[in-house]
Amino acid sequence: MALPTLINTRSPLAAPAAQRARLEALPLARTFESALGEAGRQPLTRVAARVLQVNLGKRCNQACHHCHVDAGPDRTEVMPDDVVEATLAVLAQSDIPTLDITGGAPELHPRFRDIVARARGMGRHVMDRCNLTITTLPNYADLPEFLAAHGVEVVASLPSYAASQTDRQRGDGVFDASLRALRHFNALGYGRPGTGLVLNLVTNPVGAFLPANQAALERDWTRELKRRYDVSFNHLFTITNMPISRYLEWLEQSGNVTVYMEKLVQAFNPATVEGLMCRDTISVAWDGRLFDCDFNQMLDLPVDARGPRTITDLLTTPALLSHPVTTGPHCFGCTAGAGSSCGGSTVG
Amino acid sequence: MDTYYHPPDLAKFAEVGKDAPELWEKFLGWYNAVFAEGALTEREKALIALAVSHAVQCPYCIDAYTSGSLEKGATPDQMTEAVHVAAAIRGGASLVHAVQMRNKIEKIGM
Going by DSSP bridges, is the β-strand pair A51-55/A98-102 parallel, antiparallel, or unpaired? parallel
Nearest CB among B71, B76, B77 relative to A212 is that of B71
**Residues in Cβ contact with B57 at an 8 Å cutoff, skipping those fewer than 6 apart:** none
Task: Spell B39-49 as b/e; 16+ CB within 10 A means b.
Answer: eebbbbbbbbb
Q: What percent of chain A has pLDDT over 90?
A: 88
- Look at residue A254 and tell me if it is in a domain: yes
Q: pLDDT tens across A222-243, in order?
A: 999 999 999 999 999 999 999 9
Q: Give the DSSP letter string of A245-307.
A: HHHHHHHHHTT-HHHHHHHHHHTB-GGGGGG-GGGTEEEE-TTSBEESSHHHHHTT-PSPTTS
- Partnered with residue A126 across adjacent β-strands are A99
* One-letter amino acid for residue A54 of the chain: V
Global pTM reads: 0.89
* pLDDT at residue A76 tops 70: yes
- C-alpha span between A280 and B54 (Å, rounded): 47
CATH number at residue A175: 3.20.20.70
Beta-strand runs (E) in chain A: 51-55, 98-102, 125-130, 153-157, 199-203, 236-238, 281-284, 290-291
* One-letter amino acid for residue A78 of the chain: V
Which pLDDT does position A319 carry in this prediction?
56
A213/B42 Cβ within 8 A: yes
Is some CB atom of chain A closer than 8 A to the CB atom of B72?
A: yes
Q: Looking at per-residue confidence, does B2 or A174 come out higher?
A: A174
Number of domains present in the structure of chain A: 1
- C-alpha span between A158 and A181 (Å, rounded): 11
Which pLDDT does position A276 carry in this prediction?
96
Q: pLDDT tens across A139-175, in order?
A: 999 999 999 999 999 999 999 998 988 888 888 899 9
Please name which of A83, A50, A70 lies closest in space to residue A3, comparing C-alpha atoms.
A70
Q: Side by side, which strands form the sheet with A51-55?
A: A236-238, A199-203, A153-157, A125-130, A98-102, A51-55, A281-284, A290-291
Distance (Å) from the alpha carbon of B28 to chain A's nearest alpha carbon: 19
Cis peptide before A43 (omega within 30 of 0): yes
- A-B contacts at Cβ under 8 angstroms: 34
> SS3 of A77, please?
coil
- Look at residue A88 and tell me if it is in a domain: yes
- Look at residue A245 and tell me if it is in a domain: yes
- Please state, rounded to an integer, the average pLDDT across all residues of chain B: 94
Query: Mutate which of A203, A213, A222 to test chain B, going by most B C-beta atoms within 10 A?
Result: A213
* pLDDT at residue A322 tops 90: no
Q: pLDDT tens across A16-42, in order?
A: 999 999 999 999 999 999 999 999 999
A209/B73 Cβ within 8 A: no
- Look at residue A227 and tell me if it is in a domain: yes
**Residues in Cβ contact with A230 at an 8 Å cutoff, skipping those fewer than 6 apart:** A183
Q: pLDDT tens across A97-134, in order?
A: 999 999 999 999 999 999 999 999 999 999 999 999 99
- Look at residue A344 and tell me if it is in a domain: no
CA closest to B40 among chain A residues:
A216
pLDDT band at residue A2 using 50, 70 and 90 as cut-offs: very low
Going by DSSP bridges, is the β-strand pair A281-284/A51-55 parallel, antiparallel, or unpaired? parallel
Q: Compute CA A217 distance to the chain's CA centroid, rounded to the nearest angstrom.
A: 19
Distance (Å) from the alpha carbon of A327 to chain B's nearest alpha carbon: 26
Indicate the Cα dihedral angle A99, A101, A65, A246, nearest 10°.
80
- Look at residue A343 and tell me if it is in a domain: no
Q: pLDDT tens across B34-59, in order?
A: 999 999 999 999 999 999 999 999 99
Nearest CB among A162, A165, A209 relative to B67 is that of A209
* pLDDT at residue B1 tops 70: no
Beta carbons of B64 and B7 less than 8 angstroms apart: no
> SS3 of A50, please?
coil
Nearest CB among A162, A209, A216 relative to B75 is that of A162
* pLDDT at residue B13 tops 70: yes
- C-alpha span between A178 and A41 (Å, rounded): 40
Structural domain range at position A24: 12-335
Angle at A104 between CA A245 and CA A61, to 5 degrees: 105
B75/A216 Cβ within 8 A: no
Going by DSSP bridges, is the β-strand pair A153-157/A51-55 parallel, antiparallel, or unpaired? unpaired
- Look at residue A345 and tell me if it is in a domain: no
- Look at residue A348 and tell me if it is in a domain: no
- Total residue count of chain A as it appears in this document: 348
**Residues in Cβ contact with B68 at an 8 Å cutoff, skipping those fewer than 6 apart:** B46, B49, B50
- C-alpha span between A272 and A343 (Å, rounded): 13
- C-alpha span between A312 and A114 (Å, rounded): 20
| Torsional class of A319: left (φ above 0), alpha (ψ -120 to 50), beta (otherwise) | beta
* pLDDT at residue A1 tops 50: no
